[in-house]
Structures are given as C-alpha cells and as structure tokens.
Structure 1
Amino acid sequence: MPIEDEYRKIYDNEVNRELKREIAIYEDETEINNYQPLSHNCKEKCVNKCDHQCYKSLGKLMRKNIVFYCYGEDEVVAKFNNGLFADLEKAIKVAYKMRLPHREPKMDGLPSEVLLDAIVQSLVPGAYKLAVRTIFRQNDNNEIKGYDLTYFTNVNGKITLWLGQAKMGSKQYCKNGILDDLNKKYSSLYLAEQIYFLADKPSGLTNEGKQLADLLSELNMLNALENDKKRAEQLMDFLKSKNIDICIPCLLAYDNSNIYSETMNIENKMKVEMNWMKHYFEKNFKFEDIKPKLIFIIFPIENIEALRGNEGFYAGLC
C-alpha cells in the first residue's frame, strides 16, 4: 500500500472522523475569494444540549494532531507500524518536547497552526507536506518562520501548493494579522526564499512529495549562485511551466462567545460573521508575480482562553 494511503487511513482513524463530528461546516461562498465558516459546536452533538465545554473536546483533537503536524507522512506510518505511536498520548508529549522549540505556553502560535493543519488535512483529501517545517531551525534556533502550513495537492496531475497562515486571538488581531501576512509573505522574493529552503529538506514525505521536492531542490542547486531576484524569477517560471497553482488558506480563529449563546441560532450568526469578513477582505490584493487562490476559514471560538488552557489544548503538556 502506498505511504499516502496508509497515512490517510491512520489519520482518518485518529483525527479526521472525530474532527468532522466536532466542528460544524457551513456553506462556503465564493466571490473574489473563497469563504468557509466553521463552528466548534457540532450540530449533531450540541443542538439543545450543549454544555459549553466544547473547548475540551476540540482542544483534545488539536492536541492529538500535534503528532501529525510534527512528523512527515512516512515517519507517521513507520512509527505506527513499529508500535512507537501505540500510546498516542505519550507520542504527543514526545513530539511536543522533541520536535518543537521552546515556546511560552498559551502565548505562542502553536494552537492556531495545529488547528489549521487539522482543518486542511481533514477537509482537503490528498493534501500532503512539502516538508516537515518543525524539525528545521533558523539562526536563532527557532523553527523557520515563513508560512504556517506548507502542503501540496496533486489532483489528476494538477499540482497546487498550499501556503497557509493562521491566527488565534481577538477578531481585530486575527484580521489585521492575516492582512499583514498577505501583504508581506506573498511576494515572489519571499516565496522563493521559503520554498528553496524547504525544498532541500524533504524529510518524512510521500513519494509524490519527494518527487516535487527533488525538482525544486534541483532548481535550487542550479541557480544557487544567482542573485535573489533572479532566483525568484526562475522559481516563478518553474511554477508556470509546471502549471503549479498557489492556494493560501487563512485561518481566523477568534474569540466570540456571542456566537454560541443560542445553539439554535448559530447558523444565522455564522452568516453574519462571514458577511462581515467578506466586507473586510473583499478587495484586490496586488500580489507580485503570483495569482493565488485565497480561502478565508472563519472560525469563531467560544472561549479562546479556555481552549488554550490546561483543560483545553495544553492539557497534560505543561
């Protein structure tokens, strides 16, 4: 069985099935961009009987996803097959200790990154890592900056790079932070710097991921002595020649308890949130040399502090 099939089976069993019962997915809308609203009060689980402690179950799923966020697909398959991940709670703690640099608990971006990763892996079948970013370090010994999510899909030969950003906090912080990321991180020069860095480090990937990384690594070696502008131009030419698209999923997981005050009325309130975000983001982004597809994942959270707390995402980790 191919690595990607084995991995998908494991991921479905451990995370995907529960996540799809945990979150409610509302109808998406597309105008200039794509908008996908979610809530963590599942219709099936919560209508008329919600105890408003969904942060515990959502936090647990996010915590389980740390393993799949920190390890590549072939690493996950190998470690499940040889029994190293038989105790998943232990594996989560090991991944948190060994694969992630020190971050101040409850003050870092890990929960938002893990949540975006889980959403993309669950809602986009066939999305696989271009590289395992958590095992690489920059000069300051922190994990690489760049994009919060670096995946690719290959659908009938059509390759798309998924280069995502995630924010969790107040609504103002999320919308301003995402807008700032879009303006700063999606130029040809910035894109080239990140892709070339990752392409030379194809650890723990599927066979298709290795092939794509090998092509990018070869390009990286051939133009290594060129200046940054030339290297960026050659990467853009490569993407165009291979008909590779870029998709930017932007997660805005922001604090809004009002959404959940009436479980029977969540759907209508989610429409209000989506329309508000559309009004804010529906404008022409002047990306340099790239024409990405934008997906805004709108995810109001009932209680961010509780979700990030010792009974939520960080339960047992700190």
Structure 2
Amino acid sequence: MMDDSIKIRISNQIFKYEVRLPSSGLDDNTFTLDFFDGKYRQDDLVGLIRDVVPYFSLTADEMRELDPSEINKRSFTRISDARRQAKGDYGELMLFLILSIFYDVPKFVTKARLRSTTREQIKGFDCAHFSVENDKITLWLGEAKFHKSISGAISSALSSLTDHLNDKSRIASELKLLGGEIEINKTLDRKLYLQLKSYVDGGKSLDSVEIAVPVLLTYDSKYIGQCCGKGKVLMDKDPFLSELGTELTKHFEDIYKKAWPKDSNIKLVFFLFPFEDVAKLKENIELVEQAMKF
C-alpha cells in the first residue's frame, strides 16, 4: 500500500479528464497532468515516479523488511537496463499507478522481480492486478505503450494484444506461472484468496474467468504543446476542455477502428495519457533511475 503522502501528491498532479467523449467506451478514461506557470508538469511527474518505483517493483514483504536505505537501491535495480526508447518499464509503472490509485485495483504479483536479468523486458502482460466486486474476482491483465506517436502506440498495442489474447493456452500458461507468486494472501479474505488462486494457477477454465485488459497509450499531444508557454491554463474550463476533447475524440475513433481481440469474458479498457514531450520525459526519468541505482 502506498503511503498517504504519495497518494496526495498523485491526486495533486494527475487528473482524470472528466468530459464524456462520443467516441470513447463507457469505461475508457483519459489522464492528464496540470499546468504551473505555463508549463505542463512533466518534471514534477519525474519526482513522483521516482517515489512510486518501490511500490511497483518490490513486494509488500520487502517494503516492510528492507532497511529504508536499501529500498530505493533494491527497487531501482529491478528496472530494465534496456535503452530508454526500447524498455517498457515506464509505461508499466504508469499503468500500475493508475490502477492502484484511480481504480483501487491492487497487484497480486510483482512482475518486475520475476525477470532473470535486468536486460530482459517483463514477459507477457504488463501488469497482474485484481479487483473484487460482490465476492467475484476480475483479473486485470494489461498492456502499456509509452510512445510519442498515438498511431504507433495503438498499432503496437494491437499487435501485442492480438498475440496475447487470441491464444487462451498462452494466457493460461502465464497465469499458471504467476500462481506460485501471489503476494496478497495475508490481507485478502481466505475464501477470496483461494478463488483468486484457482483463477491464476490453471485450476479454473479461463472461459469463466472475468478478465479486464487495461491498455495505456501515451503520446505527444499537439494541443498540450500549444498550451505550453502561454501563461495560465484553466484545465476545468474551455478552451482546454473542448480543444483537448476534439483531439481525444479523434484518437478514440482511431482506436475503435481497429479489430481488437474479442471474447465474452474479456473486456478491453483504454487509458489515454497525453504529454508535452514523451522523449524528454523518458530522458529525465532515466537520469533519476541511473542515480538511484548507485
């Protein structure tokens, strides 16, 4: 569980775009940063990401048992050593943050600790979370594409999910491997824990398991770029709401033109996150990452 101070910082830096768009799905959402003195707060987001990494890459037991001086070093050593444009950790971390804070959907496995070397990317789905509603569990198995281009993010997500979701045996195989890594049995009701384990370890047919697939797509926003350096931006009023809404409507239209994998028990949920400059954001995150590993 993240501490309250980080939750407060997240709520003060990341916001849901609350206008319903005609082209988006009912459960889709867009997230934005806010502005300060004409600047989109990407630099502040870097500091927030730095402080969220331990919750993303360490287990709850490790958070409790490690000496405070070791937490950051241990957690950052689990971030991939791949080139910043090739590694997926930043998108996976943002997806973790959104699910944990805005949806109250916790992880049941810390996937970052499962790779054998830091040169590897996280295999399979980019997250392993779960939710409980009316004593029924939904698995959240997501995909994150931290790209500059929205078209590139959509195409890459489509390719990945076509591979993942069109082969039920592949999903079952991944879940079976995760079954021995479930971390939340100490806090979850015993009956629900056993239900979750039966879903994950292959004991239950995937045809009867509810699966939500959150798909995070980032991109360089033309409109947000135009806003930067223009003085105060009021995010809860026009023209920001209407102009960004026009841009988002087009992007959701492009998403839903694609032939996404379909199944009665699998629901795709799209999250858009526009930035001013994704490449610059990645560069700044990597500078912090390199410092924290030593």
Normalization by structure 2: what TM-score?
0.81
Query: How many angstroms does 1:189 deviate by?
Result: 2.1
Distance in structure 1 (CA, Å) of the matches to 2:113 and 2:133: 28
**8 Å contact from structure 1 (residues 132, 204) kept in 2:** no
Q: SS of the residue aligned with 2:131?
A: strand
Superposition CA RMSD, Å? 2.9
Q: Which amino acid aligns with 1:195?
A: L
The partner residue of 1:55 within 39, 42, 47 is: 42
The amino acid across from 1:211 in the alignment is L
Amino acid at match of 1:269: E
Please name the residue that 1:272 is paired with.
246
Q: Any gaps of 5 or more consecutive residues in structure 1?
A: 1-6, 221-233
Structural mapping, 1:158-307, within 5 Å: 158-169=136-147, 170-187=149-166, 188-203=168-183, 206-208=186-188, 211-212=194-195, 214-216=197-199, 219=202, 235-237=205-207, 240=208, 244-262=209-227, 263-264=233-234, 265-282=239-256, 285=259, 287=261, 290-307=264-281
Q: Check the 8 A contact 1:112/1:166 in 2, yes or no.
A: yes
Displacement after TM superposition at 1:217 (Å): 6.3
The Cα shift of 1:218 comes to 5.8
Alpha-carbon spacing, 1:205–1:173, altered in 2? closer, same or farther (3 Å): farther
Counterpart Cα distance in 1 of 2:185 and 2:59: 5
Q: Structure 2 regions of 5+ residues with no counterpart? A: 228-232
2:40·2:276 contact (CA, 8 Å) conserved in 1?
Answer: no
Residue identity matched to 1:37? T
Name the SS for the 1:130 alignment partner: coil
Q: Partners of 1:203 and 1:37 in 2: how far apart?
A: 30
Q: Does the CA-based 8 Å contact 1:33-1:294 persist in structure 2?
A: no
* The 10-residue stretch of structure 1 (248-257 or 281-290) with the greater mean CA deviation from structure 2: 281-290
Whether the 8 Å CA contact 2:175–2:202 is kept in 1: the answer is no
SS in structure 1 at match of 2:112:
helix
Distance, in Å, in 1 between the alignment partners of 2:186 and 2:121 is 22
Structure 1 residues 141 and 193, CA gap change in structure 2 (3 angstroms): farther
Q: How many Å apart are 1:201 and its aligned residue?
A: 2.2
1:68 to 55, 58, 72: 55
- Counterpart contact for 2:216–2:271, Cα < 8 Å: yes
- Residue 275 (structure 2) pairs with residue 308 (structure 1): no
Matches of 1:205 and 1:95 in 2, distance apart? 22
Q: Where does residue 230 of structure 2 map in the other structure?
A: none
1:112·1:168 contact (CA, 8 Å) conserved in 2?
A: yes
Deviations 1:87-142 (A, max 9, x none): 5xx63333111x344323454111111111111111012x2222121121369973
Pair 1:317-2:289 in alignment: yes
Give secondary structure in 1 for the equivalent of 2:62. Answer: helix
Identity of aligned pairs, percent?
20
Out of 246-255 and 25-34, give the one that drifted further.
Answer: 25-34
Distance 1:182 1:108 in 2: 18
Q: Distance in 1 between matches of 2:41 and 2:185?
A: 33
How many residue pairs match? The answer is 274
Taking a change above 3 Å as real, the CA distance of residues 32 and 150 of structure 1, as seen in their structure-2 partners, is: same
Q: Normalising by structure 1, what TM-score?
A: 0.75
Q: What is the aligned counterpart of 1:23 among 8, 11, 14?
A: 14
Partner-residue secondary structure (3-state), 2:205: helix
Aligned partner of residue 68 in structure 1, secondary structure: helix
